[in-house]
Structure 1
Amino acid sequence: MPIDQPAGATPRFGNLYAIGWTAVNFFVLLALLYKFAFNPINAMLEQRTTTIESSLKHAEEVKVEVEQMRKEAQTNLLESRKEAQEIVSRATKAAEDAKTEIVAKAQEESKNIKEKANAEIKAATEQAKMELKDTAATLAIMAAEKVLGRAINEDDHKKMVKDFVNEAGDLLC
């Protein structure tokens, strides 16, 4: 059996009654949402926007502060390196000055020791020469006494020593 079809034609725009009530419900719902939900949602979005802008502004300020602190740290590092180089150069100069002073003192002391040694050698040499001359003169007198066979008096002694020293003195020294 076939199913019976309702009688009449289908309306061209559908059911206008249902469409009308749906439209009225939609606009009422839209008015209610606007009145109760739009302002709180809009306020929340505004607050969120303000919070984000504030965070971005704070982040920018922190970024500027960090950059400034980095520059200050870099400047301090450069100053510290410069001070360290100055300290090292002063210490090096002080060491060089001390070295120069020590070397100068050592050279002066060495010179003094050499001069003292030369003076002592010269004095010893002069003393040895005098002793040698005295010994040679004494030997010459003793030889002359034996040759002459008599004692030599003071005047003869002085004359013989003088002659002997004049002739042989330069050869002995």
Structure 2
Amino acid sequence: MEIVVAADASEKGLGAAIMHRFPNGRDKAITHASRAHTSAEKKYSQIEKEALSLIFAVKKFHRMIHGRKFTLLTDHQPLSIFGCKKGVPVHSANRLQRWAIILFTYDLPMQYRSSTNFGCADALSRLIANRQPPTEDAVIASVDAEVRRLFIDALRSLPLTAEKI
């Protein structure tokens, strides 16, 4: 069965899906992923956000697609430059050129699909939870609490008690 990876970006985040394409032409999702934009990514132009969604998809599904031929779907027609082996135009941004190098390592034809027929990844890019990632202090505090809990549990399992000392 043919493998299809769909990727899309919105103002809120990125969405990606990996699917099997059945002989009748229908795509059936295997798994999907999405994430919100970082504060820096929110400032990207639309073509950069769309290209970032392709990179997000191939990195997320790398173990399933590396070394296999697959089709990469997008609803942003200017990104079709990534699918051909002609190369990215010299005047394009450095960020796009770096991402093109990553995409050229995969055996993939790019396929454009209009937004009206591109629901899976499109919906995932828009249905991002409003939850912000935890701050570094919150992560450290939760890890510290977990370590403290494990330490106390380990002490309780020891055969030695304060009374025996």
Higher Rg: 1
TM over 0.5: no
> Which structure has greater helix proportion?
1
Structure holding more strand per residue: 2
Q: Normalization by structure 1: what TM-score? A: 0.19
Considering Cα pairs closer than 8 Å and 6+ residues apart, tell me whether 1 or 2 has the greater RCO: 2
TM-score (norm 2): 0.20
